[in-house]
Amino acid sequence: MKNKKLLVALIAVVAAIVVAVVLYFTLGKNAEKPTLIMATNATFPPYEYYEGEEIVGIDVEIAKAVANKMGYELQVDDMEFESIIPAVQTGKADFGFAGMTVTEDRALLVDFTNTYATGVQVIIVKEGSPITCSDDLFVEGKNYTIGVQLSTTGDLYSTWDLEDEGLATVSRFASGMDAVMALNSGKVDCVIIDNEPAKAYIASNPGLKILETEYVTEDYAAAIKKGNTELLDAFNAALQELIDDGTVGKIIDKYIPAE
Ligand code: GLN
């Protein structure tokens, strides 16, 4: 009887030690989990935007899943869109993830991962606007003012195609929403921006509409420092697994319900 009690006590002590050791290692390991820093511009719903104090959206959730698969914690750093590529180049951030379109010029500055989504540059106008399709912007003598978000592809394309040709004036804003406010108050005649944020902006601004003609279709990818093939390969491998197992699709569907 006495031996039995001793045995039970012994087992309890051993069990407690095992639990303590396991806890020590799991918690200790978590605390040491390395961090991947994502640079983004959180004015771009539904890809990245603030919900209260927190940055949420498609890119944030995909990045969390990718980081997790790679054994990292994710840290999201919000900055101007134009600062994202420099942050990646200087190593302030490990990757840029911001509904960023793959372009030849950007690919000279950073390496792009595989693409995970497509975007379309669309044109937002006021109801009753004389601009009814993208061709209207190219009519000589009209010289419309086009609102864009600084340094985005909407800015780059309208600058090259229209402003540099003397056909229109481009007005650049810190965020797409600022450009939309300028459209509301009549400071610009239209806004060229990615389709999903466009939908989110007009939902909160009655009297605006998205034209049916699409300006340009493009691919989104994450930007990684040139030459960091280790990170690029690991990111691509994790992203591909998450595309293949349906995680990426589920995240996109959650934020962009089928019409
Ligand atoms: N897709 C556009 C670009 O890459 C806009 C991205 C953004 O504003 N976050 O330029």
Q: Average pLDDT, stretch 203-215?
A: 91
Q: Is the peptide bond before 86 cis (omega within 30 degrees of 0)?
A: no
Nearest protein Cα to ligand 1, atom 8: 152
- For residue 4, pLDDT over 90 is answered with no
What is the tens place of the pLDDT at every residue in 41-92?
Answer: 999 999 999 999 999 999 999 999 999 999 999 999 999 999 999 999 999 9
Euclidean distance between CA atoms 125 and 190, whole angstroms: 5
pTM: predicted TM-score of the whole model, two decimal places: 0.85
Question: Which ligand 1 atom lies nearest to the CA of residue 220?
Answer: 1
Average pLDDT of the chain to the nearest whole number: 92
pLDDT tens across 145-185, in order? 999 999 999 999 999 999 999 999 999 999 999 999 999 99
Q: Which helix (H) or strand (E) holds 205?
A: none
Q: Which residues of 59-76 are buried (b: 16+ CB within 10 A; e: fewer)?
A: bbbbbbbbbebbebebeb
SS3 of the chain: helix, strand, coil, percent, to 5: 45, 25, 30
Q: What residues are in contact with ligand 1 under a 6 Å CB criterion? A: 41, 44, 81, 98-101, 119, 149, 152-153, 194
Burial class from Cβ neighbours inside 10 Å (0-12, 13-18, 19+) for residue 100 reads buried
Which tens digit of pLDDT belongs to each residue from 109-139?
Answer: 999 999 999 999 999 999 999 999 999 999 9
- Ligand 1: which of 80, 82, 115, 194 to mutate, judged by most atoms within 8 Å of the beta carbon? 194
Of ligand 1's atoms, which has the minimum distance to the CA of residue 193? 5
Q: If pLDDT is split at 50, 70 and 90, which confidence band does 223 have?
A: very high
